[in-house]
Amino acid sequence: MSTPAPRTAAGWTAERERSNLWALRLMRWIAITAGRPRARLVLHPIALYFLLVHGKARRASLNYLVRVLGRPVGWRDAYRHIHHFAATILDRVYFLQDQFDRFEVSATGAEALHAPLDRGEGVMLVGAHLGSFEALRASAQGRGARVAMLMYEDNARLLNATLAAVAPHAELHTIGLGRAGAMLTLRRWLDDGGIAGLLADRTLPGHSERSRTLWLDFLGQPARFSDGPFRLAAMLRRQVVFMAGLYHGGDRYELRFVELADFRAPAPGPAERGTGAADPRVAEAMQRYVTLLESLCRETPYNWFNFFDFWSADDAAAPASP
């Protein structure tokens, strides 16, 4: 682990992705009217369009694929990568409308999530831009579990606008970080046995006193990761479970759960108790997260959906994403 990066605001929080809501509504109309088999045919021209037009995303895809596949790659590889992403975006329409019977969803390691829920304890789920987080709804609804996403307010507003276009009647709970009362809301949600999920492969704003950005080895080169999610779990004394909804093609998804850390016990050492700031378990959990993320990227390389230079030292290289 390297020295924390300077506390400068992450550039991607200044960039605001403006989704084309008209296009999303069109995709929703195609998905519902034409049905999934026909709608999937539209993914081919969409993926080809992005491959040809969006050079930055194409270059980022090729850069990542060279690292993860360990061989020379070409446009065919990038097309497959982008098509995987487009397929999960289409399926988001159906997942958000609770049409789970369209999919074959399996689960690996689900006991890591179910055990604390069965005890009535809330769980913090830590994921990544890997596969489909919406696939979790298939598992959560079957158990009557409540899921909330943790994100900053601007991203929450953007996500809600996107959902209004894709699935107007979908209910998605969000807890806005960085606002007064957010910690109390999160604590109550977890105390009531809820699931709180967040994606930890994007750095949090550098001015936050509750997080640091660290450079950790990832696919052969150091990349930036924030310890904020793990320090938050340590402060709230919660279990942390990794989750990814891996897309295996066609209608097949696999939910992968792995316990990363258990912060229910007090931090070792009186100076660290109650803050998580110097808790060695935070660093251990963070390293386990990055190691697991790298392993899953190698196992299912086309499920990685960070289409920017993840290893760049330039803050502006990373866009915001809900």
Token couple for 119: 């005890």
Task: Mean pLDDT check: name the lowest of 97-106, 116-125, 271-280.
Answer: 271-280
Number of domains in the chain: 1
User: What tokens does 282 get?
Assistant: 């935070």
Is residue 218 in a domain? yes
The SS3 of residue 1 is coil
Average pLDDT, the chain: 82
CB 289 within 8 A of CB 200: yes
> pLDDT band for position 265 (50/70/90)?
confident
Any domain includes 5: no
Written as one letter, the residue type at 51 is: L
Residue 92 lies in a domain: yes
Q: State the pLDDT at residue 141.
A: 65
Would residue 322 count as lying in a domain?
Answer: no
* Helix H or strand E encompassing 187: helix 182-191
pLDDT of residue 5 exceeding 60: no
Domain range enclosing 29: 11-317
277 domain residue, yes or no? yes
Instruction: Give the lowest-confidence range in 1-10, 31-40, 119-128, 152-161.
Output: 1-10
The predicted pLDDT at position 160 comes to 61
1 belongs to a structural domain: no
* 146 backbone φψ class: left, alpha, beta (φ>0; ψ -120 to 50): beta
CB under 8 Å to 79, separation ≥6 — which residues? Answer: 47, 48, 51
Residue 313 lies in a domain: yes
On the question of pLDDT at 3 being above 60, the answer is no
Least confident of 178-182, 202-206, 230-234: 202-206
Q: Which tokens is 107 given?
A: 């689960």
Share of the chain above pLDDT 90, in %: 53
Q: For residue 175, give the H/E element and its range.
A: strand 173-177
Distance CA 294, CA 219 (A): 6
In a domain, residue 144? The reply is yes
The enclosing H or E element of 259 equals strand 252-262
Specify whether the CB–CB gap between 223 and 289 falls below 8 A.
no
Grade residue 18 by pLDDT with cuts at 50, 70 and 90: very low
Between 66 and 43, name the one with better pLDDT. 66
pLDDT higher than threshold 80 for residue 315: no
Task: Categorize the per-residue pLDDT at 157 as very low, low, confident or very high, splitting at 50, 70 and 90.
Answer: low
**In what helix (H) or strand (E) does residue 161 lie, and over which residues does it extend?**
helix 153-166
User: What average pLDDT does range 309-319 have in this prediction?
Assistant: 72
